Every structure is written in C-alpha cells, then in structure tokens.
Amino acid sequence: MKIFMDTANVEEIRELNEWGIVYGVTTNPSLIAKTGHSQEDIIKEICQIVDGPVSAEVISTECIGMVEEARKLSKIAPNVVVKIPCIVEGLKAVRILSAECIATNVTLVFSLAQALLAASAGATYVSPFVGRLDDIGEDGVQLVEDMVNVFRKYEFDTEIIAASIRDLEHVDRVMLAGADIATIPTKVIHEMIEHKLTDAGLKKFLLDYENSKK
Ligand code: E4P
C-alpha cells in the first residue's frame, strides 16, 4: 500500500518527503482554504516537491465547468490528478477527461455502488471516505475491503485510495483490506513511526555502546 499525504501544508510535505515515504498528495478545498493561498499556487509548489500524483479538486458542480477546471489544473504540472465529486455531472466529466488522458480521482465515495459507477466511467483513482462513514455509525474499512474484492474480481484498473483516515487503526485495517493507497494526515504519519520499544531498545543499545568503551 502506497502512502499519500492528505494535506495542503507545503512545509509538512517538504519535511516528510525527505523520509522517502511519500508517493503522492491529496488536497481538497477545505485543506487549501487552511493555507490562505490560491489552489494554483499551492498545487504548483507541491508538484515541485513530490513527483507522484497530486490531487487537486474542482469546485464546479456541472460537467462542463468541471472539465474546464480540470484542463486548467492539469496544465499546472504533469503529475496533477483532478479530483471530481461522485455525482452524475462528475461521472460525465470523468468520461470526457479519461478520453483526454487527464487523470481523475473520484472523491466523496461512500458506497460500493458509487465506486462501481466511478470505475465504469474511467476514473484513475476512487476515494472511499473511511472516517466519515465511521462518523455515521458505518464501517468505513469494510467498504474499502468490499471495493478491493469487487475491483479484483472484475479486473478494474481503477486504484483505490483509502481516504478520511483518522488514526493508526485505520491505517492498519485498510492496509490489511488491500487498499492500493492510503492518503494519511501528517499527524497520523508521525504516529506511524512511533513505538516505545524502538525508543527503549535504541536507548539501551547506545548505553551499552558507551559502557563498552570504558
Ligand atoms: C482526501 O482525498 C479527502 O479529501 C480527505 O481524506 C477527507 O478527510 P476528512 O474526512 O478527514 O476531511
């Protein structure tokens, strides 16, 4: 499972990119709004740091507007992926963009039926929102697992990005479910490296090394 960063914070992306674990980035209008900068400026900067896919979301809710925005966004850098909401107009836009070889990430996916429609329209990626399903008492990871099984069974090329990841348990469970990618908030990626036994083990090794020199 590849790791994408789920943030529009350029400093965070720059820092974690040095770890060598960042394969891509996803943003959304809420994350861009937090930066106080324009989407174009932020996406341009992120694409200078990260070589892999960088998702930028359209604001239009009608096919023609989405397609126009997508064409503009895709000119920012070759690795831009256009995020399209999972609505009827979005499906129409995905079909057009797919024919133009513009990569798409169908977002706000909450059911297996929506995932099938997105993949059928030709989406490059589809993003089930795990945490938001949990928020309404459903099992978001179960949706990811079901999507993995269905996409495998019917041999779809569309890749599954487990999104709306809130904690380490989500990361472990979507990995076990077979998600192609998880897009993870910076805070959770920091938690992924932590283990008290690693810290204790390292402390002991360094102490033993120092003592051996005496
Ligand atoms: C990423 O593609 C999504 O926009 C993001 O994961 C949503 O996460 P949230 O539900 O925590 O806002």
Question: pLDDT digits over 94-110, tens only?
Answer: 999 999 999 999 999 99
Atom 7 in ligand 1: residue holding the nearest Cα: 164
The pLDDT score that the predictor gives to residue 146 is: 98
pLDDT average, residue stretch 71-94: 98
Atom 1 in ligand 1: residue holding the nearest Cα: 163
Reply yes or no on whether the pLDDT at 182 is more than 90: yes
Reply yes or no on whether the pLDDT at 214 is more than 90: no
Contact (CB, 8 A) for 165 and 141: no
Interhelix angle 140-153/168-177, rounded to 10 degrees, is 20
Which one of 6, 55, 189 would you pick to mutate in the ligand 1 pocket, going by the greatest count of ligand atoms within 8 A of its CB? Answer: 6
Which one of 5, 9, 28, 108 would you pick to mutate in the ligand 1 pocket, going by the greatest count of ligand atoms within 8 A of its CB? Answer: 28
Reply yes or no on whether the pLDDT at 13 is more than 90: yes
Measure 164 CA to ligand 1 centroid, in angstroms.
Answer: 4
pLDDT average, residue stretch 62-72: 98
Which is higher by pLDDT, 214 or 149? 149
The pLDDT score that the predictor gives to residue 209 is: 97
Burial track 73-112 (b if 16+ CB lie within 10 A, e otherwise): bbebbebbbbbbbbbebbbbbbbbbeeeebbbbbbbbbee
Residue 83 alpha carbon, nearest atom of ligand 1: 2
Q: What is the dihedral of CA 87, 152, 172, 80, to 10 degrees?
A: -50
Neighbouring CB atoms inside 10 A of 165's CB total 26
Reply yes or no on whether the pLDDT at 120 is more than 90: yes
Measure 31 CA to ligand 1 centroid, in angstroms.
Answer: 9
